Amino acid sequence: MGFPVLLEVRGLEVSYGGIHAVKGVDLEVREGELVCLIGANGAGKSTTLRAVCGLLPARAGSVRYGGTDIAGVAMHELPRRGLVMVPEGRGIFPQLTVQENLAMGAYTRNDAGIAEDIERRYETFPRLKERRTQVAGTLSGGEQQMLAMGRALMARPKLLLLDEPSMGLAPRLVAKIFEIVRQIASQGVTILLVEQNARLALEVANRGYVMESGNITLSGEAEGLLESPKVREAYLGETA
């Protein structure tokens, strides 16, 4: 891959009070890649993403985005620079309407294309169009996830961080969400996907990192990881 590195995390350490949740993570995402970060519940995946966005302070290490260190950059500046996260649990605004949620995604923009972009989201997610004037808290889990992803796209991200988009969804919807992730990637958005569903994540991703209790323990091409006995045993539920 000769593309430039978009996100570069070096020696990242994060703790919650005394709990050392991320213990020196190195990872990078190149422009145009779909990279997944897999690992069991509690491994430190969400903590890593939160620290990348500045939602949590890093205890050590650096996060470079687009070639600049973003440690000192205010969090609300990041979407303006194309770095957008869909947090775990979707984080929709329950009392805002579907349309207002989408508009919030475009908060940092002031170009004329916002209304058009909202229409484009409705084409991708017709369910959202039917519910445009409904408050988002009344949507089903799957619809909320689509809203969260549609809202993130409204910022026209360069790098999209997705934290467990398939969490808590029925299998049919999980497949649909992964299909949408693939579509977004094919439109040229770089993606860092955090997932517990290792198989599906590795099937859509180019590369992957495996995280275990705060450390990256394996990384490589997604196909290679799918074949790896260790991954098969620990994350794909197969006996080696």
Site of interaction with Mg ion (CB under 5 A)? 46, 88
Cβ nearer to ligand ADP, comparing 42 with 57: 42
Query: What's the closest the beta carbon of residue 106 comes to ligand ADP, in angstroms?
Result: 28
Which does residue 47 touch among ligand ADP, Mg ion, other proteins, none (CB within 5 to 8 A, set by kind)?
ligand ADP
Residue of the chain from 4, 42, 137, 168 that contacts other proteins (CB under 8 A): 137
End-to-end CA distance of the chain: 31
Residue closest to Mg ion, measured at CB? 46
Q: Cα separation of 214 and 231, whole Å?
A: 17
* Residue ranges in 7-66 that form contacts with ligand ADP under rule CB under 6 A: 16, 19, 21, 39, 41-47
Burial degree of 108 (CB within 10 A; 0-12, 13-18, 19+): middle
Instruction: Return the SS3 of 205.
Output: coil
Structure tokens that stand for 233 in this block: 């045993």
* Residue ranges in 200-229 that form contacts with other proteins under rule CB under 8 A: none
Distance from CA of residue 130 to its chain's centroid? 26
Query: What's the closest the beta carbon of residue 161 comes to ligand ADP, in angstroms?
Result: 12
Residue of the chain from 87, 165, 208, 214 that contacts other proteins (CB under 8 A): 87
Beta bridge partners of 163: 194
Q: Cα separation of 48 and 65, whole Å?
A: 14
DSSP code, position 135: B
Could you tell me whether strands 19-30 and 5-16 are parallel, antiparallel, or unpaired per DSSP bridges?
A: antiparallel
Q: Rounded to 5 degrees, what are φ and ψ at 19?
A: -85, 115
* Residue ranges in 141-180 that form contacts with other proteins under rule CB under 8 A: 151, 155
Q: Give the closest residue to 31 by CA, choosing from 83, 85, 97, 106.
A: 83
Cβ nearer to ligand ADP, comparing 3 with 16: 16
Four-CA torsion 118, 189, 84, 202, nearest 10 degrees? 120
Structure tokens that stand for 182 in this block: 């693939």
Which does residue 60 touch among Mg ion, ligand ADP, other proteins, none (CB within 5 to 8 A, set by kind)?
none
By CB under 6 A, how many residues form the interface with ligand ADP?
Answer: 11
Segment near other proteins (CB under 8 A), from 77-85, 164-172, 174-182, 230-238?
77-85
Which does residue 78 touch among ligand ADP, Mg ion, other proteins, none (CB within 5 to 8 A, set by kind)?
other proteins
Query: What's the closest the beta carbon of residue 45 comes to Mg ion, in angstroms?
Result: 5
Q: Residues in the site for other proteins, rule: CB under 8 A?
A: 53, 55, 74-80, 84-85, 87, 91-96, 100, 103-105, 107-108, 137, 151, 155
